[in-house]
Amino acid sequence: MTLKRVVVTGIGALTPIGNNAKEYWDNLLVGKSGAAPITRFDASNFKTQFACEVKDLDLDNFFDRKEGRKLDLFSKFAMIVADEAIADANLVSDKLNVERVGVIWGSGIGGIITFQDEVQGFVNGGGIPRFNPFFIPKMISDIASGHISIKYGFRGPNFSLVSACATSTNSMIDAFNYIRLGKADVIVTGGSEAAINESGIGGFNAMHALSTRNDDPKTASRPFDKDRDGFVMGEGAGALILEEYEHAKARGAKIYGEIAGGGLSADAHHITAPHPEGFGALNVMRSAMEDDPSISAEDFDYINVHGTSTPLGDIAELKAIRGVFGDHAEKLNISSTKSMTGHLLGATGAIEGIATLLAVKNDIVPPTINHFTNDEGIDPTLNLTFHKPQKKEVKVALSNTFGFGGHNASVIFKKCEG
């Protein structure tokens, strides 16, 4: 069969450095840090007392009180960005075959705020079971895709998946495959996460995964820096409208770029640590490249790396990039936008996919900020786009995301021609 072409016709973003896609992109280019002391709860007894929270968001502008009580924060984030992306793509339900419009959404953790609140209420209430009737529908991680489809009447493929921090890239890849196989015309895809609460911060602290640079939060997320000491927790959401190319052309949709491939792999090594030689990362990038035989390693201009600011992960990923791209790796721009947004866990692939897509569209690479000291374990010949964005033609770009459990996902964006 002839596979369909898949393009992106709408985007939406809600991030620690911008509450819509334009604000997010503009602040990436000026190198803004989203890290600050935690405001959601009293973190004074925690090893980590800061995070990258969404800021200045009045949820009352989006949800009435009755509706809001039925939604965990991760679902609210999902609805906000889905609305933005659907409006951006000018998707009008009465002009679509809604049987062929789907929603594939992801969250690495789901309703952890709801879960904690309900369990605390049970314990504080002396063990008397007075649970909210919306407890389960608020908590389950698939509910965001259900809410989006219900609001808009989209009756196509609808599900959620979980692959930890690779979740929303995995969601994009599934959406890409459903469309190119002819199973849908349009899919709303992406991910959302809202895990900045006592359980989220405390749990990751117990794993020694988070930075504890409480004296200087804004510079705590420092990928590739010698003194990096862990990632910074972020929250938010990103949405992309994926659409079959001819369908998009027929309705006169604007096109941001084309998805050229998506790869999935497993490290099969450790529950939290990457393979030290980056074998899973190497395999997933090669897998993504197999989807479009017209693209070779030498055609790539930019990689938005997973780059979490952990001692092991940053080095392993760069080893994998060298293994895949060889000498061409030195001609690539590489950057970690987590240096600005922090790590949005299951939503990270969506917002980083948007950053990668906009780099292709606008021919500019966002920077890696917070680099102060070279790490002798980092290849000095690689261009990690430190401090400032770099203007260059970006025809083909790659976005990597890797998750606990050894889950790896990579997606390729390219300029749309023809």
3-state secondary structure string, 239-302? EEEEEEHHHHHHCCCCCCEEEEEEEEEECCCCCCCCCCCCHHHHHHHHHHHCCCCCCCHHHCCE
Q: Is 114 helix (H, G, I), strand (E, B) or coil?
A: helix
Reply yes or no on whether the pLDDT at 415 is more than 80.
yes
pLDDT band at residue 92, thresholds of 50, 70 and 90?
Answer: confident
State residue 1's pLDDT score. Answer: 78
* Distance from C-alpha of 34 to C-alpha of 218, rounded to nearest angstrom: 7
pLDDT band at residue 406, thresholds of 50, 70 and 90?
Answer: very high
State residue 282's pLDDT score. Answer: 97
Reply yes or no on whether the pLDDT at 418 is more than 80.
no
Question: How many CB atoms within 10 Å of residue 392?
Answer: 15
Amino acid at 254: K
* Distance from C-alpha of 106 to C-alpha of 164, rounded to nearest angstrom: 9
Q: Which residues of 185-195 are buried (b: 16+ CB within 10 A; e: fewer)?
A: bbbbbbbbbbb
State residue 319's pLDDT score. Answer: 96
% of residues, the chain, pLDDT over 90: 97
297 exposure class (CB count in 10 Å sphere: 0-12, 13-18, 19+): middle
* Distance from C-alpha of 334 to C-alpha of 337, rounded to nearest angstrom: 10
% of residues, the chain, pLDDT over 70: 100
Reply yes or no on whether the pLDDT at 26 is more than 80.
yes
pLDDT band at residue 242, thresholds of 50, 70 and 90?
Answer: very high
Helix 167-180 / helix 348-362 crossing angle, nearest 10 deg? 60
Judged by phi (left if over 0) then psi (alpha if -120 to 50, else beta), residue 395 lies in alpha
Reply yes or no on whether the pLDDT at 4 is more than 80.
yes
Helix runs in 310-385, H state only: 311-325, 338-341, 348-362
Domains by residue range for the chain, with CATH: 6-414 (3.40.47.10)
- For residue 277, give both structure tokens: 């030689």
Active site residues: 165, 306, 343
Mean of per-residue pLDDT scores for the chain: 97
Mean pLDDT of the 315-323 span: 97
pLDDT band at residue 93, thresholds of 50, 70 and 90?
Answer: confident
pLDDT band at residue 246, thresholds of 50, 70 and 90?
Answer: very high
Mean pLDDT of the 244-264 span: 97
